[in-house]
A = this chain, B = another copy of it.
């Protein structure tokens, strides 16, 4: 063992971070020890507080410090619209876009029978209960445009069939600022099919 047990343990622990292998963990540990001790102590406190204190919002399953998350606590955002996303980072992306002002439901995953993830694991019964109780008018299925994301969206839509709720899916099309020459064929097909009159 070339280093002290404390340094070895720090390197080993840093490997629990996603995308961090032996070399990166070493680089991080040495950086903190050489030039970032105050940052390291702050990170230690933040980790310990978050690992013990962060729970799931009882209404939308998002991360929260208290029973309800900030969005669910806001009465202006319980307006009969729920946006279903796969993960907190999807929610964050939508929040940063800044336009949507309704509520959320965070699945924390998608249906994936091969990995043993069924409707129960991602809280779909909880979502259906909430829709029943709150009287939702629109459900936006913002799961990812992948095979699993599409399957999850269709499953939820099937379960709500005939209940008079407007169920929508995000539009596919050309990204704003993108160049046509770099857009793939599937996206272009969607963009053509979803074209709109310039003057409405």
Q: Which chain A residues have a beta carbon within 8 Å of chain B's beta carbons? A: 1-7, 9-10, 12-14, 16-19, 24, 26-34, 36-37, 39-54, 62-66, 69-71, 87-89, 91-92, 95-96, 108
Q: A7-B54, A50-B9 are in contact. Are A70 and B28 (CB under 8 A)?
A: no
Query: Which residues of B lie under 8 Å from residue A46 when comparing CB positions?
Result: 6, 9-10, 12-14
**Residue ID in chain B nearest A109 by CB atoms:** B34
Q: Are B41 and A48 in contact (CB under 8 A)?
A: yes
Q: Are A9 and B49 in contact (CB under 8 A)?
A: yes
Stoichiometry, as copies per complex, reads 2
Q: A4-B69, A44-B47 are in contact. Are A36 and B53 (CB under 8 A)?
A: no
Which listed residue (B13, B32, B52, B54) contacts A4, Cβ 8 A? Answer: B54
6 smallest A-B Cβ distances: which pairs? A16-B39, A44-B47, A4-B65, A13-B46, A44-B48, A13-B43
Query: Which residues of B lie under 8 Å from residue A39 when comparing CB positions?
Result: 13, 16
